[in-house]
A = this chain, B = another copy of it.
Amino acid sequence: MPQIKAINHVAVVVEDMEKSLAFWRDALGIELHELRDVPAEKSQVAFLPLAGAEVELVMPTTDDSGIAKYLAKRGQGMHHLCLEVDDIEAMMVHLKGKNIRLINEEARTAADGKKYAFIHPESSGGVLVELYQI
């Protein structure tokens, strides 16, 4: 049975990166590890590591991405919870067997080699859950 190992990150959708960093970095004092443009996801992402997990601030850079539409509809706040899993393909097969609705039918591979997939909030009680295999 595949295993969930840890909370990998909590992603927060933000309107204005500088204002958000004024809170998370400057007021709370969490170190900003990296601020990265991710053109493939039409967003800019700030990575703020915390003891093996991370807060990620995601700012849409266009109006037409999924996250831009989420921001327009729901406003700023927590967007998804990412859980690390030891075997993402096995977990996806297992979840399908439990009638859990997945957003991605197959795991995708990011530029850095991580495999990821999303579970539909309909199956998780309103939480957009991302699975990550590092």
User: Which residues of A approach B to under 8 Å, CB–CB?
Assistant: 1-7, 10, 12, 14-15, 19-20, 23-24, 26-30, 50-53, 55, 75-78, 81, 83, 94-95, 98, 100, 121, 123-127
Q: A27 to chain B: which residues have CB within 8 Å?
A: 94-95, 98, 100, 123
Q: Nearest chain B CB to A35's CB is how many angstroms away?
A: 16
Contact A4 B23 (CB under 8 A): no
Q: Which of B2, B6, B15, B121 contacts A125 (CB 8 A)?
A: B15
**What residues on B are CB-neighbors of A126 within 8 Å?**
12, 75-77
Q: Whose C-beta in chain B lies nearest to the C-beta of A28?
A: B4
Most chain B Cβ neighbours within 10 Å, of A20, A121, A125: A125
A51 contact from B1, B52, B75, B127, Cβ within 8 A:
B52
Q: How far is the CB of A87 from chain B (nearest CB, A)?
A: 12
- Besides A27-B123, A55-B81, A76-B127, 18 new A-B residue pairs in contact (Cβ under 8 A), listed by A number: A2-B29, A3-B29, A4-B28, A5-B50, A5-B51, A6-B50, A6-B53, A7-B50, A7-B53, A12-B125, A12-B126, A19-B125, A23-B123, A27-B95, A52-B52, A77-B121, A77-B125, A78-B78
Number of copies: 2
The answer on a CB contact under 8 Å between A7 and B7 is yes
